[in-house]
């Protein structure tokens, strides 16, 4: 769990962030929590973000995928999409997460796919569908992020 790999971003997006001195793949990684949970982002654009997470190590006492683990995967994927939508001059901050858990998963990988529902100037909302290896829906989530201006003088936003 937690192994690193390279996310494929559109070249123009990589160049936009590089011009600001930012390492895009590092910025849009799953972070420390995502690393501990084994989340891997496979595809990332403002139109679609795909990531996986192992069930093993992310279960509740009954041996089922923990609902909170699904929420972490959903928020990670939706946040990446929101940040890519907002661009290098915006910071995406989650303000609302709703998860409906449809079925349990006991083993293997779950895959989350985040697609936009709304992309505005100040908010972005993504639907995240999490499925098991048999392509059965495990969880449906919706994440809304506030898009804050980045303070280019070194701060994180206003």
> Can 75 be counted among the known catalytic residues?
yes
Among the listed residues 3, 75, 127, 133, the single catalytic one is: 75
Answer for the pair 116, 154: CB distance below 8 angstroms, yes or no.
Answer: no
Strand order in the sheet with 109-119: 40-44, 49-54, 109-119, 123-131, 137-149, 90-101
Answer for the pair 39, 94: CB distance below 8 angstroms, yes or no.
Answer: no
Structure tokens at 17: 């962030």
Residue 57's region, left for phi above 0, alpha for psi from -120 to 50, else beta, is left
Active site residues: 75
């Amino acid at each position: 769990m937690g192994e690193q790999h390279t996310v494929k971003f559109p070249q123009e997006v990589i160049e936009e962030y590089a011009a600001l001195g930012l390492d895009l793949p590092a910025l849009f990684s799953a972070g420390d929590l995502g690393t501990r949970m084994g989340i891997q982002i496979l595809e990332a654009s403002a139109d679609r973000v795909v990531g996986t997470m192992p069930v093993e190590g992310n279960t509740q006492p009954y041996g089922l995928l923990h609902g909170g683990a699904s929420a972490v995967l959903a928020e990670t994927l939706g946040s990446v999409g929101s940040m890519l939508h907002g661009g290098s001059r915006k910071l995406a901050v989650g303000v609302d997460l709703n998860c409906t858990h449809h079925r349990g998963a006991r083993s293997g990988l779950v895959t989350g796919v985040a697609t936009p529902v709304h992309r505005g100037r100040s908010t972005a909302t993504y639907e995240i569908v999490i499925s098991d290896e048999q392509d059965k829906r495990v969880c449906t989530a919706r994440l809304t992020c506030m898009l804050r201006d980045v303070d280019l003088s070194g701060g994180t936003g206003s």
